[in-house]
Amino acid sequence: MSELLFQNPVERIISFIYDLLIFGLKSIFFILEAIYLSILPDRWRKEKDVSGKVVLITGGGGGVGRYLALNFAKLNSRVVIWDINSEAIKTTTDLLTSHGYSCKGYIVDISDKEQVYQSAQLLQNEIGAVNILVNNAAIVCCKPFWDLPDRVIENTYNINVISHYWTAKAFLPQMMERNDGHIVTIGSVTGLLGTYGCSDYSATKFALNGFHESLFTDLRAHGYNNVQMTLVCPYYINTGMFNGVRPRLFPMLEPDYVAERVVTAVKRNEVWCVLPNHVRTLLPLKCFLPSKMCWELMSRVIRGPDSMMLFRGRGKVPAG
């Protein structure tokens, strides 16, 4: 930026035209690449080998995390799970053992950075460097804004967003030293489109998407091209996390399907994965529709008896 300020007008114009040309050519290349990959049969897609890789899954005690652990284990990865619930950890490790796989579990409160750093060091000493980090753990309250207690809001942010800073700080430096590794961020469609009853959860997922994309840019700008980043944005998942939610536009996703798709995205080094894929068609509406029309449309779609989704529990209207 400072160099640009000292350029004369002609140099600025030339620099602008050059940047515009590069941007245009790269845009055409990536659009053609996306079209090619979209029509390429799955059996011809190149996939990396994850056997022998240390895979850490946060929130691995249940839901999608449990299926992720099983699916990576089936690929001969060395699976490690973090969870705050000791019984959930045992259930997952017993499940993998019953299938003939091994799994190491640690009780970790990922909202506590000291626990994260200490557990990360213990993991690296006992098992080795983490090759694939799957930031899967998250919580949701599912209440209108005015019914959200302060402590719930703080806890949602600490687990859904801030914890990603601690895990990335704990494991990314070794990935950068090797210029090799993979960080998976489990975001949400609610981080792309604000949703009723999710003012805490949706906002954390918006923040999470921004963190992930910015970290991706940092790594690429400094030449760490082999440290892969995958952002997964699934629709509502039938894990019990969204009890009381009855989606009407699309059915809830099953956790085994989501886990299978996440593993595939990792093997293909996909940068962005939206589940189901056709939800992407809704996203341009935010940009192309007039702002008032867009917000009015979305508010009508997600409320009332004919809404896209309906919560069984209804929030109280705040006094005044």
Specify the CATH number for the domain of residue 114. 3.40.50.720
Query: Which range, 74-78, 281-285, 298-302, has the best average confidence (pLDDT)?
Result: 74-78
Element (H, E) at 66: helix 63-74
Identify which has the larger pLDDT, 72 or 306.
Answer: 72
pLDDT of residue 5 exceeding 60, the answer is no
* Ranges 200-204, 286-290, 295-299, most confident: 200-204
Tell me if 241 is assigned to some domain: yes
> What is the count of structural domains for the chain?
1
Where is average pLDDT lowest: 112-116, 208-212, 299-303? 299-303
Q: Which domain holds residue 63?
A: 48-280
The answer to whether residue 35 sits within a structural domain is no
- What is the pLDDT at residue 123? 97
Q: What b-and-e string marks burial along 291-318, b requiring 16 or more CB atoms within 10 Å of the CB?
A: eeeeeeebeebbeeeebbbbbeeeeeee
Q: Is 55 inside a domain boundary?
A: yes
Q: How much is the pLDDT for 316?
A: 36
Distance CA 234, CA 185 (A): 11
Residue 246, helix vs strand vs coil? strand
Confidence check: pLDDT of 225 > 60: yes
Q: What is the mean pLDDT of residues 232-256?
A: 75
* Whole-number Cα distances in Å, 176 to 125, 183, 220: 18, 12, 11
The CA-atom distances, in angstroms, between 95 and each of 54, 69, 157, 235 are 19, 10, 31, 26
Which residues 6+ apart lie within 8 Å of 240 measured at CB?
63
pLDDT of 305 strictly over 50:
no
- Residue 260 is assigned to a structural domain of this protein: yes
Specify the pLDDT at position 306.
38
**Active site residues per annotation:** 201
Q: Which two tokens stand for residue 318?
A: 């705040």
Q: Rounded CA gap, 171 and 131, in Å?
A: 9
Look at residue 306 and tell me if it is in a domain: no
Q: CA 74 to CA 243: how far, in whole Å?
A: 30
Per the CB < 8 A criterion, the answer to whether 134 and 262 are in contact is yes
Residue 224 phi, psi dihedral angles, 5° rounding: -90, 65
Helix (H, G, I), strand (E, B) or coil at 227: strand
Question: Does 245 fall in a domain?
Answer: yes
Percent of the chain clearing pLDDT 90 (strictly above): 59
Residues 171/56, Cβ–Cβ less than 8 Å: yes
What mean pLDDT comes out for the span 206-211? Answer: 95
For residue range 93-151, list pLDDT tens digits in order: 999 999 999 999 999 999 999 999 999 999 999 999 999 999 999 998 878 889 999 99
Q: What is the 3-class SS of 272-313, one letter each residue?
A: EEEECHHHHHHCCHHHHCCHHHHHHHHHHHCCCCCCCEEECC
In a domain, 59, yes or no: yes
Residue 208 included in any domain = yes
pLDDT at position 190: 84
pLDDT of residue 317: 33
pTM: predicted TM-score of the whole model, two decimal places: 0.83
